[in-house]
Each structure stands twice: as C-alpha cells, then as structure tokens.
Structure 1
Amino acid sequence: MLRHVLLASLVTVSAPALANDSVAELGTGGLILSRTDAIAMESEDLFISQEKVTVDYVFRNQTDKDVDTIVAFPMPDIAGSPYEMPAIPKNDVDNFLGFEVSADGQAIKPELEHKAVAVGIDVSDELKAQNVPFYPFGDTAVKALEALPQDVADDWLDRGIIVIDEFDDGSGMKSVRTPYWQLRSTYWWRAKFPAGKTVKVAHSYQPSVGASVGLNFFNDGKFQGDGYADYKQRYCMDAAFERAVAKSAKENADGYPSLSESRIAYVLTTGGNWATGTIGKFALTIDKGDPKNIISFCGNGVEKVGPTTFRMTANDFYPERDLNILILTPSQSGSGN
C-alpha cells in the first residue's frame, strides 16, 4: 500500500485595512494533496456565495496500487480577543463553519482534533482541567472563566492566556475575564483511493464573510487613498464597477454611495501538490446573491451565466493567485453589475 496525506487547506489571510465598523473575513480554501505522483485531480467544481461554499472533486489514482490516506481539513485559526472578532458563521460551536464532507456520495463523519495555544504554547490540558471550552468567543467561555479560582486566573493573566476586558455597560464599569488564546482545529478522516479508479470527494461549509458599513475605498466623493489602491489590486475593480459605485454616489444628496461591503477570501494557491500539479478541468461559479448587488473579483474569461451568477472555466488550471470577492449591497434600489 502507498501512504500519502491529503490536506484541506483553510487558512487565515491578511484582510485589507478596514474601518472601525468592519468585521474581517477568514480566508477559506479547498483540498490539497501532500506531494505525490500517485493521484491526479481530474476536475474541481467550485461554487461560492455568501451563504455557502461547495467544492466537488474527482481524483484518480493513476497507479496499480491502492493508496491509503489521512484526509485533514484544518479550520482557520481563531484568536480570542475583546477588541476584535472575525466574521464567524456559527458562534459558540466547535464546527463554526458548518463543515461537511462526503466521498462517492457517502457522508463522512470526521474526527476533530483541536487545541488552545497561548504565546505559542499549548495550554489545552489546562483549559480542560478547569472545564473551559476551547472556542474563544461566546458566553460559554466567558462564564467558564468567571468560575476560575483567583490563583488560576492570576496565573493565566500573567501568561497571556486571558486578559481583563473593562467596559461600561450602562450600569457602571465592568471587568470581565476574556479569552486571549488561539484556537487551532483540524477535521480528519481515513480514506482509500483504489488502484486505477476515480473517487469523488465533496465538501461544503458556510464562508466567513467580512463586512463594512459604507466603503473602504471611496472617500470625500472620490476613489482615492490606500484603501482604493489595495482594493483595485485585490478585487480587480474595473471601469464598469466604478461607474456603478459613482452612480450610487450621484443619487445621494451627501455624495456618498448607499452601499455596504461584503468580502469573501478563498485560498487557491495552496493547491497543486497532486500528480500533474494542475487541475484537469476547473470550474468556478460565483453567486452575488441579488441582481441589484455589485460584484468584483479577478478572473480570466469570466462569463455572466445568470441574473446573479458568474462562471469561469479552464483546462490544466494552475492557480497563480488567491481569490478575493467583493460584493456591494445597496441600501436602496439601484442597478448592479
């Protein structure tokens, strides 16, 4: 038997500088193989919307021997903080992206391995000993920290495991013990690629969608500033997109577009470790959600195939950059791209 490791890459990527009323997106990705000459990716069909990401693969074992694998899906790292919270679809649960996976149509129930890390040190056992959940956001963790003995809380403060969040909730100042550790989670399961056969693998999850009220690239009635330069490169904003934004601005007395941002980051460049290094047949479909929404993203040969959907296809595809999607939602009726 040949043994290889199949990894699903789900990593956090740097988000653009955002306004104070923004939440940052967590970059998401798809399955990748550890370096192997045994298995080729014949096809990948990727669908992305604000509600769901689905990825359908066809892998082929090109050898005359079965390949036993460990398949892993690392969730994005989440750092606890009282100052900023990323966009998390399902709060206060281990499976915070609602991840599901199947092989040849049969649902797989993956194992979950997770740990808590503070200042680069694994503190999982200490959290377990005090019945503190690893997920660093939500009421469950805060209530568990309230119950800590004072000597334990003091020790965790000194070691950067927790911090004290001080705020006024309207009834006076409060001091609350707050998680400051990082959650690292990985789903994994065992799989077999039979000799000379294809295996269909499908997985889905709810994406982390960053959001801003207003626009980070349009200031004082103009496209300008560092935010504009970054967005122009990141999302490939073209003249048609900018005209739609300018039109919204002209329709308002204050000269500002009545638009809000939604952002999705999908990691494509971690792939390419299978036999050929390319994807035989690659298809990408993006749904902007509403015909009035305005969308921009980078891609070659993109076609509008429906009122809200855009599609790109390629043969022997090798991803050279990650995919960043910007969707603008109007607060009142208007035209979209």
Structure 2
Amino acid sequence: MIRLNRGVAAVLAAILLAAPAAANDSVASMGAGGLVLQRTDGIEMRSEDLYVSAAEIRVRYRFYNRTQRDISTIVAFPMPDLQGGDEAVPLEDPLQMPFTTTVNGRRVATNVEQKAIFNGVDHSGLLRGLAVPFTPRGEATMQALAALPRPQIEMLIEMGLIEDRSWTDAGVRQLDLVPLWTLKTTHYWTQVFPAGRELDVRHQYTPAVGGSAGSVFGDPAMEAGEYASQAATRYCTDDAFRAGARRMRARGLYLTETWVDYILTTGANWAEPIGEFRLVVDKGSSRNLVSFCGEGVRKIGPTRFEIRRRNYTPTQDLSVLILTGIRFDD
C-alpha cells in the first residue's frame, strides 16, 4: 500500500558525516576531516536507474563530461550507517557486505573510509587507540570494551560513547556496555571523466537493513501512538496500509518490519538535474506490505513499484517500510 503524496528524496548533505544511509554517487575531495562531498559544474548525470529491495540494491548511472577537458575527481558512495544504542540495526560491518563497482563494464576497486561518530564528533582516533572496533554492535566490540581498564570505561561513559547497563544476577555482576556511536562507511575512488564522453557507472551491494521483531501496525490500540505518527511522516503509511496490516493480523500472522533507506540528495551535486530518473522498489513477496513516499508511483509487478522522472533534482531521501507476516507453528 503506497501513499502518493510527497516526493521521493533530504536536504543536500554537503559533508559526508551528514549522510545516514546508502547514497547516490557524488564528487568529493579529501579534506582534513576526511571525504567532503562537493558540487561540480562540469559533469552531468544523464540518467539514474535505481533498484531497492531488502536483499539487494542496484544502481546504474550515465555521466557526461560536458567540458573540453578531462576531469579527474574522487567519487564517493556512502554506505548505510550502523547505529549503536537500542536501534534495531544489523550487526554486520558494511565492509563484510558484498559491494561491487564497475565503470564501462570493468570492475573498479574502491577505497574505504570508516568513522565512529557521536553527536557530530569523530571519535575514530580515540577508539583506534583503545583497540575498540568501530562497529557499534557485535561480539568483537563487546569483548574489546569489556577488556578495557575501568578508568577507560568510565571515560567513555562520561563522554557519552557508551552506556553501562550492567546488572547483578545471583550476586554476580553481569557486564553490559552498550556503544552509542554511529559507524559511517564510504566507498570512494578516483575517476577520470573523459571530455565530451559518457561513462556508465554501476554499483551493486547487499544493504544493511534495519528492522523490528514486532510492529504496532494492525493493532488499533497501538496505531495511535508516537511511533505510528513518525512512520506516517517517514514512510507515508496511510489508511490502506493500516487496513492491510489489520487483515494480516486477523489471519493470525505475527508482523515484523524491515526498513531500507537510500540517500538520493547527493544526486543534486552534478551540473544539471538528473536527465532521466527511474526508481523500482521491490517488497520481496506479494504477501508483504510496503509503504514509502513518492509521487506518481505505479505497480509494475506482483512485488515491484516504479517511479519515473525527467530533469529530476532530488530534495528528499527514500525510506522504505516492508511489513511481513509470520505464522508460527503450534
């Protein structure tokens, strides 16, 4: 069920640290604090063909250098954030997820920049010095934190980087240190855009999706709460979506949510609006429900929905909610 009442796309992220999810390609420079996204007046994005699902993201671009000289620049592709705290996020480090880039059909090796960010501040150097992995979830990070001397743990707590949720069971203290920082990962490479020529650039990867073990949707007592209100803004959930969720519950299904985000706004960094833009969102199963914000959405298959635009300047990001029903055996 899809509400067609607002555009698919967030305000241009001028600095890489502001990018919360996978993103369109953008030209970049290497600043003192790492990669910085920039705008270019010499290269056009003639087309973007984007496929988004919980299992895979594929994107194909056609770039054109409209100048009379070759342009060599860093091209950056931010990956999904991994957030600490209580957020239902995947445990995998994005570096462990398959990611491929091709230019004119040839595989290109990308470099990777990772940063541990909390409240807009880069704490990568501190964590590196303490031998703590940047990934805010996972056994290796938990073990590294637990092995720190207590003064260093207290320092991280004081800085707000971790929260001590330890408890005592049968007189034995159980250590539970929860990282609160966010891991930001960006693939990047140096690309030459030949004068007066097009380049075909493609990315394919497994997204780091978020999700919940349950859902408020389909439960009238909970649908009036704050989360449902936030979801209505973020995913444009509407009456039809909520009615579908209630029907799923009436069939005895237990509902879970999957969230997929994609930053479109870095597509505004090129010389002109995107000439031809196509987005396909795939909900994975015809039994699932999907909701996302967009104008002119049309269904093109049992699980796929499409948006097409010409001369498109993205101004907001894409957030997709997939609702799945599970039947437990008695």
Rate the CA distance shift 1:173–1:140 in 2: closer, same or farther, 3 A.
Answer: same
Distance 2:57 2:248 in 1: 29
Normalised by the size of structure 2, how large is the TM-score?
Answer: 0.78
| SS state at 1:95 partner | helix
Q: Which residue of 2 aligns with 1:87?
A: 89
Distance 1:85 1:330 in 2: 21
Distance 1:135 1:188 in 2: 19
Distance 2:321 2:312 in 1: 23
Residue 134 of structure 1 pairs with residue 134 of structure 2:
yes
Q: Which amino acid counterpart does residue 26 of structure 2 have in structure 1?
A: I
Q: Which residue of 2 aligns with 1:72?
A: 76
Q: Which residue of 2 aligns with 1:263?
A: 259
Q: Higher relative contact order at CA 8 Å, sep ≥6: structure 1 or structure 2?
A: 2
Residue 224 of structure 1, CA deviation: 3.3
Distance 2:193 2:16 in 1: 16
Residue 61 of structure 1, CA deviation: 0.3
- 8 Å CA contact 2:118, 2:182 repeated in 1: yes
Distance 2:261 2:235 in 1: 10
Q: Which residue of 1 aligns with 2:4?
A: none
Stretches of structure 2 that go unaligned for 5 or more consecutive residues are 1-13, 28-37
> What's the CA shift string for 1:130-175, capped at 9, x where partnerless?
4332223212122223333455445444444444330357894312
Distance 1:310 1:185 in 2: 29
Look at both structures and tell me which one has the larger radius of gyration over its CA atoms. Answer: 1
Rate the CA distance shift 1:223–1:129 in 2: closer, same or farther, 3 A.
Answer: closer
- 8 Å CA contact 1:48, 1:54 repeated in 2: yes
Distance 1:161 1:237 in 2: 34
| SS state at 1:271 partner | helix
Larger deviation, residues 168-177 vs 317-326: 168-177
Residue 80 of structure 1, CA deviation: 3.8
Distance 1:244 1:208 in 2: 26
Q: How does 1:207-218 map to 2 (within 5 A)?
A: 207-218=207-218
The count of aligned residue pairs is 305
Residue 30 of structure 1 pairs with residue 32 of structure 2:
no
Q: Which amino acid counterpart does residue 53 of structure 2 have in structure 1?
A: S
- 8 Å CA contact 1:117, 1:184 repeated in 2: yes
Residue 286 of structure 1, CA deviation: 1.4
Q: How does 1:198-237 map to 2 (within 5 A)?
A: 198-220=198-220, 224-237=224-237
Q: Percent identity?
A: 36
Residue 39 of structure 1 pairs with residue 35 of structure 2:
no
- 8 Å CA contact 1:69, 1:190 repeated in 2: yes
Larger deviation, residues 159-168 vs 65-74: 159-168
Q: Which residue of 1 aligns with 2:306?
A: 311
Distance 1:156 1:219 in 2: 40
Stretches of structure 1 that go unaligned for 5 or more consecutive residues are 1-5, 13-26
- 8 Å CA contact 1:218, 1:224 repeated in 2: no
- 8 Å CA contact 2:218, 2:249 repeated in 1: no
Q: How does 1:265-284 map to 2 (within 5 A)?
A: 265-276=261-272, 278-284=273-279
Rate the CA distance shift 1:86–1:302 in 2: closer, same or farther, 3 A.
Answer: same
Q: How does 1:1-337 map to 2 (within 5 A)?
A: 11-12=19-20, 27-33=21-27, 34-81=38-85, 84-88=86-90, 91=92, 93=93, 95=95, 97-117=97-117, 122-167=122-167, 172-220=172-220, 224-238=224-238, 240-252=240-252, 258-276=254-272, 278-332=273-327
Runs (4+) off by over 6 Å? 6-10
Distance 1:159 1:222 in 2: 35
> What's the CA shift string for 1:97-121, capped at 9, x where partnerless?
5433221222222222334456665
| SS state at 1:64 partner | coil
| SS state at 2:268 partner | coil
Normalised by the size of structure 1, how large is the TM-score?
Answer: 0.76
> What's the CA shift string for 1:282-337, capped at 9, x where partnerless?
1111111111112222233323222222222222122343222222212249xxxx
